[in-house]
A and B are shown apart, each in its own frame.
Chain A
């Protein structure tokens, strides 16, 4: 048989490609549920890490079922808000509905394009509120979760993840606990611009201690990733600003009421 015939070559390659495509489509469909379950447990463990319920390594050692259980015990309410801070809808708590990176990506277009957004808010029983951020790093998407104290502006913790940042440099946003620890205790300036800054040198220091403001030190050697994270945090926290400001107002009005009663 002449295998160098043009027609043969075209038919042969077509058949090979169709077979390969069919195999891949079949495998992708049949493994989808398992992969989504893994991704969901991973997302939840990232939120729990940001909120300070443990470290990522601890959650990894626990296994998926235990992570979901911890989340179920700690979560108080989860809902979505729009740009004005008004509640849009509840998330399915029993089903432990979360926003995976692909869902964050979809919202990222709206956040950046100034279109109407529906952003998730996760409130835990101890008063901590966790919100996601999403943006572009140097090589691919970066995202993460920032946990706020009950006052709605002090950061309790943060965890970031990335798809393909440079190992040892940009990948530090995920791998370097010291970088993530820098966020703890800082205050996001909701209603101002910029809300939060990742800058060279970080916050001005007084007596060797960093001032608790809205600035932290960028990662050496990872300028583009740091800038990307800065932009992601500003865009997303900017979109959440109305929600957190409304929270702060309602809380202070409660305080004045109790003060008057006294």
Chain B
């Protein structure tokens, strides 16, 4: 696999959310505001990229029988580090509070462990790291698209700034998770009509 494909495939052709259907839970939960979605996207990119790098460097030394546990320990460490760092800055502290458990729950995001199992344990460190970051970016891109519509229609704002004219009545359905699922369905639909090979016969 070429390095370029490693980076570009997860963004569209094999996007972790729309094609692999991973990480759905958190993409419904954290997409009410663009700020939250952006912080979540960057956090997943960091966790995914660095865990893939570390585990790829260790891949020939990890005992096969405790493979998953070792992965879990490394990913958990990364998640706690991200959480601690977000808590330490004035700008990110309120966002960390708003995302609350979902930052800690990055560890249960199948994208992270999935990419480590499928890619990092069989490839060299640098391509593994790029694969992790690219998958995080693919996830983050969908998050931002969903959050864009939800914040615009649900709160009438973008990144907290009022964009809808005064008098716009905010739509409560958009704020609730079911709308995120509907929107996600539409995105999958759009992708499948562009990328015909994903359609089942």
Instruction: Decide if B193 is an interface residue (CB 8 Å cutoff).
Output: no
| Smallest CB gap from A164: residue in B | B101
| Complex CA–CA separation, A167 to B26 (angstroms) | 13
Cross-chain contact A20 with B29 (CB below 8 angstroms)? no
Q: What's the A-B contact tally at a CB cutoff of 8 Å?
A: 63
B80 to A24, Cβ gap below 8 A?
Answer: yes
Q: How far, in Å, is B91 (CB) from chain A's closest CB?
A: 9
User: For A17, what are the chain B residues with a Cβ–Cβ distance below 8 Å?
Assistant: 73
Question: When A27-B84, A28-B84, A31-B84 are in contact, do A20 and B73 touch as well, CB less than 8 Å?
Answer: yes
Binds B, one of A2-10, A127-135, A142-150, A238-246: A2-10
Binds A, one of B41-49, B58-66, B119-127, B182-190: B58-66
In the bound complex, residues from chain A placing their C-beta under 8 Å from that of B76 are: 20
Docked pose: A24 CA to B73 CA in angstroms: 12
Answer whether residue B176 sits at the interface, using C-beta atoms and an 8 A cutoff: yes
Interface check B21, CB cutoff 8 A: no
Select the residue from B61, B63, B73, B74 with max chain A CB neighbours within 10 A.
Answer: B63
| Residues in A neighbouring B25, C-beta threshold 8 A | none
Residue ranges of A at the interface with B (Cβ–Cβ < 8 Å): 3-5, 8-9, 12-13, 16-17, 20, 23-24, 27-28, 31, 34-35, 38, 41-42, 60, 63-64, 163-164, 167-168
CB within 8 Å of A: which residues of B?
A: 29, 61-66, 69-70, 73-74, 76-77, 80-81, 84-85, 87-90, 93-94, 97, 100-101, 176
Provide 16 A-B residue pairs closer than 8 Å at the C-beta atoms, listed in order of the A residue: A4-B64, A4-B65, A9-B63, A9-B66, A12-B66, A13-B63, A13-B69, A13-B70, A16-B73, A16-B74, A23-B77, A24-B81, A27-B81, A34-B88, A38-B89, A164-B100
Closest 8 CB pairs of A and B: A34-B88, A9-B63, A38-B93, A31-B88, A20-B77, A3-B63, A35-B87, A64-B90
